[in-house]
Structure 1
Amino acid sequence: MRVVFDFGGVLFRWHPPSFLARVWPQRCPDEAAGAVAAREFFTQYAGDWGAFDQGLIGPEEVIHRIAARTGWPEADVRAVVDAVPSELQAVAGTVALIEAAQAAGHRTHYLSNMPGIYADHLERQYPLDRWFESGIFSSRVKHSKPGAEIFSLMEAQLAVPPEDIVFLDDHPDNIEAAAARGWQAILFTTPEAASATLRERGLIR
């Protein structure tokens, strides 16, 4: 079996409301305000941030576009873009889940919507080559989830029947797209819940 992990919100901490409350305390005094700002800043990972995810624009352009769209000062927008690597901390429970999948004889991979500068950072800071046999970053293939193209690229890389792919992601749209292709798609909420689901399916001990 091939077990495929998303990164932000699954293997790495990614919670925009609390992130923006930390980075922008003057603008987001609490998580509720952070959630409102996050919807405007990241636009549900479409628009300008979606283009950043897909590697179609770089950090300077996304900063300029977000500032122009929202009216926020470019310096404020840059502070958020620059702070993302500090938000992307490995989640210990998910690392343990990867190790459990490997111990059970499964091969592990990743499929992540990730701008290039952050993908580079994660490769420098974490042992991705130990955790995963292979993977795809959206910025390096110019496609992103939930688009069909990136799932097709993953299938070509894995070269197994769709039903032999177990996929963990925290976004319902991505899960629906994977399930429609015949993948065993599991909506990730916490490492503990994901572990329980994999145990119920007999995939890990």
Structure 2
Amino acid sequence: MSPQAVVFDIGNVLIEWQPERFFDAEIGEADRRALFEAVDLHAMNDRVDRGERFRAVIEETAEANPDFAAAIRMWHDRWAELASPVIDRSVRLFRALKRRGVPCHILSNIGEETFAIAAKNYPFLEEFDEVFLSGALRMAKPDGAIFAHVESALALPPEALFFTDDRAENIDMAASRGWATQLFTSPSALAGRLVEEGLLTAEEVA
């Protein structure tokens, strides 16, 4: 069966997600390294992605690490800058699929509050047909359960779904269920795969 719908991750697929780069610019590389060595900020963010309240998690972490509190609070107060910029060609591919009538969905490890900030800054996120957020579902990639939920919600068999994500473990789980997959390395590579799958033409991805 050829794919009938395309499922996009958000971070590093549609929008760049490089917190270290943001902190290098704000506090300098040396202080950023000290911060990330002292505080597991990605684990902190995982809590938000699994449904905990955004501000509460950041405040708890800041209070537990007073030497880094001001920098940690940037994760909340300046989150829109952490999640930037948009990956323009990926968005163009999404819109080309939409023009073709291909249903397009999101499956992302992201909190509901952080997604709301992203959608405010990048309104194209509200153009997707269905949005599956780990924070709302209280389960996250690469857990097989979240992929099963998408299949059930869309009433599609796994082989009808095409999925692109920047993390190999998420791609591996989707592929093990029978989804068509593309590990996202660049918009150009994704474009080529969409053409191979017959979802877009070479002219449409140019």
Cα distance in 2 for partners of 1:72, 1:199 equals: 51
- 1:49 Cα offset (Å): 2.4
Alpha carbons 1:10, 1:188 under 8 Å: kept: yes
Coordinate RMSD, CA, aligned: 2.5
Q: Equivalences for 1:6-21 in 2 at 5 Å?
A: 6-21=9-24
Name the SS of the counterpart of 2:115 in structure 1. helix
- 1:28 Cα offset (Å): 4.5
Cα distance in 1 for partners of 2:111, 2:37 equals: 17
Cα distance in 2 for partners of 1:27, 1:182 equals: 44
Alpha carbons 1:2, 1:165 under 8 Å: kept: yes
Aligned-pair identity in percent equals 29
Query: Cα–Cα, structure 1 residues 178 and 140, in superposed 2: closer, same or farther, change >3 Å?
Result: same
Q: In structure 2, what is the equivalent of residue 201 of structure 1?
A: 197
Cα distance in 2 for partners of 1:21, 1:104 equals: 41
Name the SS of the counterpart of 1:127 in structure 2. helix
Cα distance in 2 for partners of 1:6, 1:66 equals: 29
Deviations 1:16-73 (A, max 9, x none): 33222123326447xxx49x93895334xxx4322211113432223423663x6742
Cα distance in 1 for partners of 2:186, 2:144 equals: 26
- 1:99 Cα offset (Å): 1.5
Cα distance in 2 for partners of 1:39, 1:169 equals: 29
- Counterpart selection for 2:129 from 126, 133, 138: 133
Q: Equivalences for 1:1-205 in 2 at 5 Å?
A: 1-25=4-28, 27-28=30-31, 33=33, 37=36, 41-43=40-42, 47-65=43-61, 68=64, 72-88=67-83, 89-125=85-121, 126-130=123-127, 132-205=128-201
Query: Cα–Cα, structure 1 residues 38 and 192, in superposed 2: closer, same or farther, change >3 Å?
Result: farther
- 1:76 Cα offset (Å): 1.6
- The letter of the residue matching 1:127 is F
Alpha carbons 2:47, 2:57 under 8 Å: kept: no
Q: TM-score if structure 1 supplies the norm length?
A: 0.84
- 1:15 Cα offset (Å): 1.9
Q: Identify unmatched segments of 5+ residues in structure 1.
A: none
Cα distance in 1 for partners of 2:30, 2:75 equals: 12
Alpha carbons 1:52, 1:59 under 8 Å: kept: no
Cα distance in 1 for partners of 2:69, 2:124 equals: 33
- 1:114 Cα offset (Å): 0.9
Alpha carbons 1:20, 1:38 under 8 Å: kept: no
How many pairs were matched up?
196
Query: Cα–Cα, structure 1 residues 188 and 65, in superposed 2: closer, same or farther, change >3 Å?
Result: same
